[in-house]
Amino acid sequence: MIEVLAYSKETGLHDNLSIEELSGGKWDWYWVDFNQPTEGEVTLLEKTFEFHPLAVEDCLHGLQRPKLDYYDDHSFIVVHSVNPKTLEREEINVFLGHCSIVTFHKEKNEPLEQAKRIVKNNKQHEKVDEYYVFHQILDKVVDNYFPIIYKIEDHINEIEDNTKDLSMEKLLEELFDRRSELLLLRQTIHPMRDLLYRILNTRHLDGVFERREYFADIHDHLIKVADMVASNREMTQDIRDSYLSLNSHETNRTMQILTVISVIFMPLTFIVGVYGMNFANMPELQTEYGYFVVWGLMIAVAVAMFIWFRNKGWFD
């Protein structure tokens, strides 16, 4: 599907135009969005708009690294948004030309829809141009990173506090899932940060230079979200280390208790073993109160060893 927005000082803003209506040069600026295009619509990129074949090829292959390429009459920018449900990268290809901007994406993209609503609702369309549209696209793409990282941050806090009273194994499993999500975000955000830095420092995009403070604000947001991803990864590492240390401590505590029990029963086992031998000439076997004496001896040994271990602090 192809959506067209075009503005003329004489007739104002128009939407739902056809590609053929853009010809004639009567428009001050226009935005053409290839939204989940068909094979026939894809051919318009090269036949009608005459974009460079290499740029068109990058659109079709997909999953390009965020980048900025310059051609004779247009610039080609690859932008990555993030699907809030799957955290997968969604590629937006932008062709930026004189008084025109063309976007191409294979999936429905919410940041682009938000940018369209802002452009349509702007009451000062005479101040809008292709770089204003480009800024809105970048701004909404980056703004949509924040709810995702906030949601992951809330999950990490729940894991740290264990509000659901989960087992250690389940907590660690969820923690590693959050770390994987943060890794996916980092793989998207860092290249986007580098792209914005290059856009800010290029001399090929005059409109960016004129709106430098607005694009610099997007770059600042990317730095902030990159720092949030890094700090949350550090937090997950600290939580992981704490859980592993706690698990190791509980294991050592269990082994300590089992060791105490084993040590207490060692002399008792020895005594029982001695008097369990079936020799005929064992003198103690004929003692009238031998049974009670042995029981008393074993109880005394067990109590004495328990008191000794307690004084050593093994039961603290």
In CATH, the architecture of 1-243 is 2-Layer Sandwich (3.30)
H or E element in which residue 180 lies: helix 168-201
Q: What is the mean pLDDT of residues 169-177?
A: 85
pLDDT at site 96: 92
> Residue 239's CB: how many other CB atoms inside 10 A?
19
Give residue-wise pLDDT tens across range 109-133: 899 999 999 988 887 777 788 899 9
Query: 210: helix, coil or strand?
Result: helix
Among 150, 121, 103, smallest CA distance to 4 is for: 103
pLDDT at site 99: 87
Q: Spell 299-308 as b/e; 16+ CB within 10 A means b.
A: eebeeebeee
Query: 68: helix, coil or strand?
Result: strand
Q: Which of 314 and 223 is assigned the larger pLDDT?
A: 223
Q: Which residue carries 């792209």 as its tokens? A: 195
Query: 29: helix, coil or strand?
Result: strand
Residue-range domain boundaries for the chain: 1-243, 253-310
pLDDT at site 135: 93
Contact 218, 143 (CB under 8 A): no
Tokens of 55: 């740029």
Question: Which residues contact residue 108 at a Cβ distance below 8 angstroms, ignoring those fewer than 6 apart?
Answer: 35, 36
pLDDT at site 225: 94
Contact 207, 131 (CB under 8 A): yes
* CA dist., res. 303 & res. 157, Å (int): 46
Which long-range contacts (C-beta less than 8 Å, at least 24 apart) are formed by 155-164? 156/232, 156/235, 156/236, 156/239, 159/239, 160/235, 160/239
In angstroms, the Cα distances linking 80 to 75, 112, 137, 188, 288 are 17, 11, 11, 7, 91
Give residue-wise pLDDT tens across range 247-295: 787 788 888 888 888 888 898 888 888 888 877 777 777 778 888 888 8
User: pLDDT tier at 221 (50, 70, 90 boundaries)?
Assistant: very high
User: pLDDT tier at 195 (50, 70, 90 boundaries)?
Assistant: very high
Same fold, 1-243 and 253-310: no
Contact 250, 241 (CB under 8 A): no
Contact 92, 114 (CB under 8 A): no
**Domain 253-310 CATH superfamily:** Magnesium transport protein CorA, transmembrane region (1.20.58.340)
Tell me: pLDDT of 104 over 90.
yes
pLDDT at site 14: 82
Residue 6 β-bridge partners? 14, 30
Tell me: pLDDT of 300 over 80.
yes
Q: Which residue carries 């004639």 as its tokens? A: 24
Contact 26, 13 (CB under 8 A): no
* CA dist., res. 138 & res. 115, Å (int): 9
pLDDT at site 139: 94
Q: Spell 90-114 as b/e; 16+ CB within 10 A means b.
A: bbbbbbbbeebbbbbbbeebebbeb
Contact 14, 7 (CB under 8 A): yes
> Residue 240's CB: how many other CB atoms inside 10 A?
16
Tokens of 141: 């793409």
For β-strands 67-70 and 29-35, DSSP reports them as unpaired
Average pLDDT, the chain: 87
Contact 201, 216 (CB under 8 A): no
23-27, 46-50, 170-174, 180-184, range with greatest mean pLDDT: 180-184
